[in-house]
Chain A
């Protein structure tokens, strides 16, 4: 199967097989008007099977490390890969996940941003800054 290579944008590689659509929605790619290709169950030497997303635009990938820090991001400029990296675990994520604790202040004060901070990098644990409830991935 052939998919056009992109000229300027990002290739999000080494996504766990089956997680591609989750990342598609997480990055709000359904609301972007750029070209997006989702490749599911591609063969991978490392992973057996993997998903890949190609985006023909430069988008904010800041919080992607929260979803999976093992993903590889390739930055393409003028058809050439100029950068390849794994996303870092963000120190803080804002309005990415909602606090599920019914006793949290965010349940009654709707305008508050849902902020989670990284409290345990080794185990990738994020906690609500208000009530310290662990984020559900």
Chain B
């Protein structure tokens, strides 16, 4: 059974193919309106999420399919102590494909070992979030017209930010990528990501704490939120949450075709005044997320049919 647990489950060719299908969906939505007629997507969200769950549900509806599921662990049998394995075995009887979010790292992998339908990892704690990475890649491709020869800045929480780790892994497979890591010392990219991904693939990278100093170099600026839920210690969260706030002043030295991405939700790390700047791509990014999830649902259902 083909599932998507990590972005590395997909080859570069498969990612390019998903991006191509997503672009075709954007151009020809009617062609896809009945592709999933009679199919059901189960959204099993053991952790709250607005964007990802609604994006999956909207994606399935736009493919002509139906959706069932739950949006928090308390409204599922997990509250009674049911294991992930038993939950997905049960839901496999009702649905053709499952999108799962879980606070524990590795839960979707466990699900994929037991389910009889494809599992899409919709986020497992601070670990993987492959459909966000697909969203980011589609957005970069649409905004810049390419996925190679780019200088990409990641700013904010690079330690716990799963979207950052996954996107770095995905971009490391393209050529001409330079990564600039901008974070406070306490939230630096973990050394294993640097060792296993950047050094392994000979990716040029720079670490800095100074966003404004590197701003003129950037083709892409990927902003992140410092996530309260990833900290065991509230004091550390409060000390670090306002480390980087992107304002119009800080953008003065940026390229005119810079693309600013953010996985959202935003708290205050991007000033609202930037939203109307054409370089702000984060709401277009949300829309792209729906289209690439449509492409993914189609691919997994077709491969497993």
A and B: bona fide binding partners: yes
- Please report whether the interface of chain B is mostly helix, strand, loop or mixed according to DSSP: mixed
CB-contact partner of A105 in B105, B126, B192, B196, under 8 A: B105
Query: Would you call A16 an interface residue if the criterion is a C-beta within 8 Å of the partner chain's C-beta atoms?
Result: no
Query: Would you call A130 an interface residue if the criterion is a C-beta within 8 Å of the partner chain's C-beta atoms?
Result: yes
B83 close to A111 (CB less than 8 A): yes
* Chain A 110-137 interface mask (CB, 8 Å, partner B; 1/0): 0110000001100000001111101000
Chain B residues numbered 200-216 whose CB sits less than 8 Å from any CB in chain A:
none
Query: Would you call B125 an interface residue if the criterion is a C-beta within 8 Å of the partner chain's C-beta atoms?
Result: yes
Q: Which residues of A contact B110 (CB under 8 A)?
A: 105, 109, 112, 130
Q: Given A103-B126, A119-B196, A131-B127, A109 and B84 touching (CB < 8 A)?
A: yes
B83 close to A109 (CB less than 8 A): yes
Chain B: minimal CB distance from A67 (Å) = 22
Q: Which residues of B contact A35 (CB under 8 A)?
A: none
- Determine the residue in chain B with the shortest Cβ distance to A107: B104
Query: Would you call B109 an interface residue if the criterion is a C-beta within 8 Å of the partner chain's C-beta atoms?
Result: yes
A132 close to B127 (CB less than 8 A): yes
Give complex CA distance A132, B128 in Å: 10
Q: Which residues of B contact A105 (CB under 8 A)?
A: 84, 102, 104-107, 109-110, 124
* Chain B 64-78 interface mask (CB, 8 Å, partner A; 1/0): 000000000000000
Chain B interface: which size bin? 10 to 19
Chain A interface: which size bin? 10 to 19
Chain B: minimal CB distance from A11 (Å) = 37
B196 close to A104 (CB less than 8 A): no
Q: Which residues of A contact B104 (CB under 8 A)?
A: 103-105, 107-109
A131 close to B105 (CB less than 8 A): yes
Among B104, B124, B126, the most chain A Cβ lie within 10 Å of the Cβ of B104
Give complex CA distance A109, B102 in Å: 13
Q: Which residues of A contact B84 (CB under 8 A)?
A: 105, 109
Chain B residues numbered 54-89 whose CB sits less than 8 Å from any CB in chain A:
83-85
Among A101, A119, A128, A130, the most chain B Cβ lie within 10 Å of the Cβ of A130
A104 close to B192 (CB less than 8 A): no
CB-contact partner of B105 in A104, A120, A134, under 8 A: A104
Give complex CA distance A112, B83 in Å: 10
A104 close to B106 (CB less than 8 A): yes
Query: Would you call A106 an interface residue if the criterion is a C-beta within 8 Å of the partner chain's C-beta atoms?
Result: yes
CB-contact partner of B106 in A106, A119, A120, A134, under 8 A: A106
Give complex CA distance A128, B125 in Å: 15
* Chain B 100-128 interface mask (CB, 8 Å, partner A; 1/0): 00111111011000000000000011110
Q: In the complex, given contacts A109-B84, A130-B105, what are 5 additional A-B residue pairs having Cβ atoms less than 8 angstroms apart?
A: A104-B104, A108-B104, A109-B110, A112-B110, A132-B127
What are 8 pairs between A and B in contact, CB < 8 Å? Answer: A103-B104, A103-B105, A105-B109, A109-B83, A129-B109, A131-B106, A132-B105, A134-B192
Q: What 9 A-B pairs are tightest by C-beta distance, nearest first?
A: A130-B106, A131-B105, A105-B106, A105-B104, A105-B107, A131-B106, A103-B125, A103-B105, A104-B105
Chain A interface (Cβ < 8 Å from any Cβ of B): 101, 103-109, 111-112, 119-120, 128-132, 134
Chain B interface (Cβ < 8 Å from any Cβ of A): 83-85, 102-107, 109-110, 124-127, 192, 196
